[in-house]
């Protein structure tokens, strides 16, 4: 069935004909994204009515949004939880386990020190540690959602991943500052 005639309210997993799980076959996601975009891209509908062109743009936007959401582990986890009626409360719930808070402080101190000394080696080491922690947390989030169905714990993991994503962006910014 063409997405143009499909239900606009279907979730992103159904749109890409993928199981509604955290563990996503990214190669299959990429393949289905390209196939869907070939079906709905506005250029394909340039010769049709305004209404059909508008519908095509809406579908193309929806496909892009779905792809970006499913491609990002953090966004995918957040989306899966929302499908299950769970609000991650990222803006209001900043409660974290003490050990994670201590780790945050250590990473922040290391980042500030590396920025002050313009130490790219220190930044690379910090980036590597954060990347490893992010991967481990993504695996944990997948298990919490797909296997354990522990959505409360998964919500906490999403909040941790959000912090790590922000820290990763700050590290990238620090690299940019050193290079300029």
Residue 90 lies in a domain: no
110 and 62 inside one domain: no
pLDDT tens digits, residue range 134-148? 999 999 999 999 999
What average pLDDT does range 149-154 have in this prediction?
Answer: 97
SS3 call for 72: coil
As given in the structure block, the two tokens for residue 113 are 């020190």
pTM for the full predicted model: 0.90
Q: What is the pLDDT of residue 5?
A: 53
What CATH number corresponds to the domain at position 173? 1.20.1280.20
106 and 67 inside one domain: no
Dihedral sign from CA coordinates of 99, 104, 110, 116: negative
Contact 81, 145 (CB under 8 A): yes
65 and 126 inside one domain: no
Residue 82 lies in a domain: no
Q: Which domain holds residue 47?
A: 7-71
pLDDT tens digits, residue range 4-62? 555 778 999 999 999 999 999 999 999 999 999 999 888 888 888 888 888 888 999 99
Distances (CA, A) of 66 to 3, 27, 97, 127: 13, 15, 32, 28
109 and 174 inside one domain: yes
Whose CA is closest to 143, among 73, 66, 67? Answer: 73
Start-to-end Cα distance in the chain: 51
- How many residues are present in the chain? 180
What average pLDDT does range 100-122 have in this prediction?
Answer: 94
What CATH number corresponds to the domain at position 31? 1.10.287.110
175 and 103 inside one domain: yes
Residue 91 lies in a domain: no
Residue 66 lies in a domain: yes
Q: What is the pLDDT of residue 6?
A: 59
Helix-strand-coil split of the chain, %, nearest 5: 75, 0, 25
Residue 88 lies in a domain: no
């Amino acid at each position: 069935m063409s997405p143009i005639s499909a239900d606009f309210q279907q979730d992103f997993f159904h749109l890409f004909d993928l199981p509604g799980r955290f563990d996503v076959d990214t190669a299959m996601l990429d393949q289905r994204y390209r196939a869907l975009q070939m079906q709905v891209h506005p250029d394909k509908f340039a010769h049709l009515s305004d209404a059909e062109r508008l519908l095509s743009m809406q579908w193309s936007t929806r496909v892009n949004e779905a792809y970006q959401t499913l491609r990002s582990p953090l966004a995918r986890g957040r989306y899966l939880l929302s499908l299950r009626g769970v609000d991650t409360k990222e803006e209001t719930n900043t409660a974290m386990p003490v050990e994670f808070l201590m780790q945050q402080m250590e990473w922040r101190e290391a980042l500030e020190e590396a920025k002050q000394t313009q130490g790219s080696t220190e930044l690379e080491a910090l980036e590597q540690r954060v990347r490893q922690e992010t991967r481990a947390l993504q695996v944990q989030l997948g298990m919490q959602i797909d296997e354990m169905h522990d959505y409360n714990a998964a919500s906490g993991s999403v909040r941790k991943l959000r912090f790590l994503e922000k820290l990763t962006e700050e590290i990238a910014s620090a690299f940019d500052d050193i290079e300029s």
